[in-house]
Structure 1
Amino acid sequence: MTIQEKLSLLAGAARYDASCASSGSERYVEKGIGSTLKAGICHSWSDDGRCISLLKVLLTNICIYDCAYCVNRRSNTIPRAIFTVDELVFLTMEFYRRNYIEGLFLSSGVFQSPDVTMQMMIDVVKKLRKEQGFYGYIHMKAIPGASLHLLDEAGKYVDRLSANIELPSEGALKKLAPEKNGKQVFSIMGYITDQRETLLAERKKGKKAPLYVPAGQSTQVIVGATPDTDKQILRLSHYLYQKIGLKRVYYSAYTPVNPDPRLPSLSTMPPLKREHRLYQADWLLRFYHFDVDELFDRKHDSLDERFDPKTWWALTHRDMFPVEVSTADYETLLRVPGIGVKSAKRIISARRYGALSFESLKKMGVVMKRAQFFITCQGISCSPLDLHSASLEDFLAREENSPQQLSLFKEPF
């Protein structure tokens, strides 16, 4: 194959890996090509810190594993290719010089063995850093089963390392990917976290410890390929955030790419709405101080697809509303649908200097279409419906599912 043919094949094969956001890293250099800042990558980023463009590609789609859900599994008769180290370095540098990309996301099938694959990927990023002087953002997959010394080396050259859990339970993994070991993924995550914390502590003491995975770790979970419930998935995510310190868990709606009796057959579209609700619930866990159990009732372990999880919680706890925005504390404001982290902080700050009004709340970023039912301002309500009205749920469900223009720059709640 030519390098262009390899690129077409291996870039296409990488599209199922969703965990490739790139922000939160900091890597300053005096000489070299590219840089990263906390707000994003290189010299261009969106206001909410999300990356603009990455070269997202596999080293190879050759794989020794035969996972039921993976298009690159061993038993599939598909075209196979593998980049050489020099080819990937050449592509990255040429794409960067042409302003096509601002960083690299490098993943791979497991070629020959985890150590062989990991070493080839390290050779790519090492050559970019050392020989080409490239200091843009690099996100690389950590291959489960690879030796720890390879993780040590990789972490010194990349901004983010991530090992995909893929399936939310050990039972699901044994059924759909019996050759893989879920404990290896958790072991890798724990090791990277320990190394990162150790080197961060040394840098704080004034020692010249090297940067190690400055943007942290992420992972990906496939949603809908197994009977695992939303509650199980979110409990796993909560554990990863609290105990292992992951920066982000990505949820990927199951897309059937292989005919396999172990997999569910989808009569309609992939469960994209479910994926969306999981992202919203994940946001509540990370930034709004919700617990997993608060997002579910006793009878159901799945998120209600009619409402975003925060609105659902408010509707099932109407006795806690309406909230008086002029006096409520920060934690209470965070529970109000339509009030996000930024707008809650603005409310706390603004009311020190004067009385609030519904117009001023709008200017602070409060989404009044949702918040109006759950708040009062100076003792006054502007809600067109009674909080305890049976028609409130129907109204909010229609609003939730009506077509709307989404914005990158507004908070989701």
Structure 2
Amino acid sequence: MKKLKILSDAAKYDVSCSSSGVERRNRGEGRLGNSRSFGICHTWSSDGRCISLLKILMTNRCVYDCVYCVNKATNDVERASFMPEEVAKLTIEFYRRNYIEGLFLSSAIEKSSNQTMENIHKILLLLRKKYHFNGYIHVKAIPGADKELIEQCGYLADRMSVNIELPTKESLGKLAPQKKHSSIIAPMKEIRNRLLLSQDEKKALVHYKRFVPAGQSTQMIIGATEDTDYKILTCAEYLYNKYNMKRVYYSAYVPVNSHSTLPSIQTTPPLLREHRLYQADWLLRFYNFTSEDIFIGGSQSISTKFDPKMNWALNNLHLFPIEINQAPLELLIRIPGVGHTSARRIIKERKVAFLNYEALCKTGCVIKRAKYFVTCKGKYYGENMDIDFIKRKYLNEQKYEQLSFFG
């Protein structure tokens, strides 16, 4: 229990835990758990972060001395290490008590990358083969470990992640000089290649093994260095395109160490900036935006006043208003307040009859935003197409007030 307290607390700064995109069904007697797309149960830590109930490090004893990390070698913190059998038993016993639906396992590098990866592999073998656990498992691929070890773990885990931590080689060299950019990219490349091979085997209808069916993810720390939003998002875009990344997570830096290269220990975590990066990332993944679309006119930062889609629309006001009854899907989803679901409803319903303003309101779009950028049957309902007017209206609508129970 003491180890669990230390190593679950040490894992809370790793936000790249997710269980989307996988379905591992339970087949046969004596097997435990199903892995479904709704994923791991979560709880909330004292600093407001969403963490899984069994989200742990295998060890927080680390040979590295990364400036930003709470578990760095020179930090005076309480240390602990789990044995592989202990992690397996904890997972099974927690599952039997209905505390968890899966395991998120990360680790510091205790002695070497290979030794750490071997222990992670032992845990996976115990859970899958000895305990017949079919629940969701997300593990870290340790940079510097042999590709054979990463491959073996990939056939047992549902998702793997390699945390890139910082978007540029210069930032990594400044805050984590013992880590090499090439050693972080190598396991990403290996996971991508194995995923592509597994997909090709499946298409060819030959016998194939499922390799990390939920794909790979990574994490970047926001605010520990002077890297701009542009650098962070272009790095994410590169990872999506080059390494078939399932998800890039952004972690607002929480000051835990004092150092000349880090922000002051009193610095507030940049949570709004993190939120805007997630919104921009969503546009990259699902709305066919590029990083060049998001950063208009050479800007290096995402607006904190306006969400990225609204900011893009305001800076491209010459493209609007869009006639709702004629625009194709790829143009509809670029309208602020219109998402994929409402865009498809618009296309479906206008096949029957032209949509007027009242019909548009019923499609599920956020009409308070959308009305400034569309026309319905040629009529504009946004009062004024002036950019300053739209900005004022938008900002006034974003002012929220805490409701009183007796109000």
> Residue in 2 aligned with 1:316?
315
Q: How big is the shift at 1:372?
A: 1.2
More deviation, 168-177/205-214: 205-214
Q: Which amino acid aligns with 1:86?
A: E
Say whether the 8 Å CA contact 2:224–2:253 is kept in structure 1.
Answer: yes
- Separation of aligned partners in 2, 1:9 and 1:263: 25
- Secondary structure of the equivalent of 1:222? strand
> Residue in 1 aligned with 2:395?
397
> Residue in 1 aligned with 2:5?
8
- Separation of aligned partners in 2, 1:277 and 1:259: 27
TM-score if structure 1 supplies the norm length?
A: 0.92
> Residue in 2 aligned with 1:83?
82
> Residue in 1 aligned with 2:365?
366
Note closer, same or farther for the CA distance 1:240–1:54 as it changes in structure 2 (3 Å cut).
farther
More deviation, 354-363/63-72: 354-363
- Separation of aligned partners in 2, 1:21 and 1:346: 29
> Residue in 2 aligned with 1:172?
171
Q: Which amino acid aligns with 1:82?
A: S
Say whether the 8 Å CA contact 2:258–2:265 is kept in structure 1.
Answer: no
Say whether the 8 Å CA contact 1:54–1:103 is kept in structure 2.
Answer: no
TM-score if structure 2 supplies the norm length?
A: 0.93
More deviation, 139-148/294-303: 294-303
- Secondary structure of the equivalent of 2:120? helix
Say whether the 8 Å CA contact 1:53–1:100 is kept in structure 2.
Answer: no
Structure 1 residue ranges (4+ consecutive) displaced by more than 6 angstroms after TM superposition: none
Q: Which amino acid aligns with 1:359?
A: E
- Secondary structure of the equivalent of 2:344? helix
* Matched positions, count: 394
Deviations 1:81-116 (A, max 9, x none): 001111111110111111111010000010100011
> Residue in 2 aligned with 1:209?
208
> Residue in 1 aligned with 2:112?
113
Q: How big is the shift at 1:301?
A: 0.5
Q: How big is the shift at 1:298?
A: 2.7
- Separation of aligned partners in 2, 1:240 and 1:279: 15
- Separation of aligned partners in 2, 1:369 and 1:266: 40
- Separation of aligned partners in 1, 2:369 and 2:214: 34
- Secondary structure of the equivalent of 1:261? coil
> Residue in 2 aligned with 1:192?
191
> Residue in 2 aligned with 1:24?
21
Note closer, same or farther for the CA distance 1:306–1:267 as it changes in structure 2 (3 Å cut).
farther
- Separation of aligned partners in 2, 1:128 and 1:344: 44
Note closer, same or farther for the CA distance 1:242–1:54 as it changes in structure 2 (3 Å cut).
farther
- Separation of aligned partners in 1, 2:302 and 2:256: 26
- Separation of aligned partners in 2, 1:227 and 1:97: 46
Deviations 1:93-151 (A, max 9, x none): 11111111101000001010001111111111110000101000000011000011101
Deviations 1:305-351 (A, max 9, x none): 10000001111111111111111111111110000112112211221
Note closer, same or farther for the CA distance 1:400–1:184 as it changes in structure 2 (3 Å cut).
farther
Percent identity of the aligned residues?
Answer: 47
- Runs (5+) with no aligned partner, structure 2: 43-49
- Separation of aligned partners in 2, 1:354 and 1:134: 53
Q: How big is the shift at 1:357?
A: 3.1
Q: Equivalent residues in 2 for 1:261-340 (5 A)? A: 261-265=260-264, 267-340=266-339
Q: Equivalent residues in 2 for 1:120-199 (5 A)? A: 120-199=119-198
Say whether the 8 Å CA contact 2:52–2:104 is kept in structure 1.
Answer: no
- Separation of aligned partners in 2, 1:403 and 1:156: 50
- Separation of aligned partners in 1, 2:112 and 2:136: 26
Q: How big is the shift at 1:297?
A: 2.7
Say whether the 8 Å CA contact 2:256–2:265 is kept in structure 1.
Answer: no
Q: How big is the shift at 1:196?
A: 1.2
Note closer, same or farther for the CA distance 1:34–1:280 as it changes in structure 2 (3 Å cut).
same
- Runs (5+) with no aligned partner, structure 1: 46-50, 406-413
Say whether the 8 Å CA contact 1:115–1:147 is kept in structure 2.
Answer: yes
More deviation, 356-365/245-254: 356-365
Q: How big is the shift at 1:227?
A: 1.1
- Separation of aligned partners in 2, 1:64 and 1:387: 59
Q: How big is the shift at 1:354?
A: 1.8
Say whether the 8 Å CA contact 1:339–1:366 is kept in structure 2.
Answer: yes
- Secondary structure of the equivalent of 1:40? coil
> Residue in 2 aligned with 1:377?
376
Q: How big is the shift at 1:199?
A: 1.7
> Residue in 2 aligned with 1:409?
none
